[in-house]
Amino acid sequence: MRKITYWTATLFVATIMSISGIMAVTHAPAMMKALAHLGYPVYFSDLLGVAKLVGTCVLLVPGWARLKEWAYVGFGITVLSASYSHLLSGDGLMALEPLVTFAALGASYMTSFADRRFSPSANSQTERGPGSLGLAAARAGKHRM
């Protein structure tokens, strides 16, 4: 069931991001009109479109766990920014539409790895990282300033 949820949510997000990315890169009239309505300059379409298409590729290619984390963050910021932009532009309930994609993005992220959790583990890199004091060493009093 976890795999079905992951792939359903991931393919939904990939489809939305691919379609809007292609529309942005090709400067489709509907996309350009929407971006102008939201107050974004024309060049933003290229940046947004390329980022969406690259992020979609990263999500769909096996492996690349670190890059996938960045793609999820980038898509999250993009979708929440779209919702906020529509809200401030007076689009009413249309501001809620991007939140459907955000929910699918969250479902994809939460089902992408079996060991997904929100808190760092006891052996996280920040506690034992090279070149830093590390929390464990600082707690033990081994490093003094």
Closest CA to 67 of 47, 51, 80, 83: 51
Q: Residue 113: which pLDDT band, with cuts at 50, 70 and 90? A: confident
Buried b (16+ CB within 10 A) or exposed e, 39-64: eeeeeebeebbebbbebbebbeeeee
What is d(CA 108, CA 6) in angstroms, rounded to the nearest whole number? 5
Give me the pLDDT at residue 1, please.
87
The residue with tokens 């009239």 is 29
If phi > 0 it is left, if psi is from -120 to 50 it is alpha, else beta; for residue 44 that is alpha
Q: Which residue has the higher pLDDT, 74 or 126?
A: 74
**How much is the pLDDT for 132?**
45
The Cβ of residue 17 has, within 10 Å, a number of other Cβ atoms equal to 26
Q: Which residue has the higher pLDDT, 90 or 117?
A: 90
Copy the structure tokens of residue 68. 């996938």
Among 75, 131, 145, 84, residue whose Cα is nearest residue 105: 75
Look up the pTM and report it.
0.76
d(CA 79, CA 110): 17
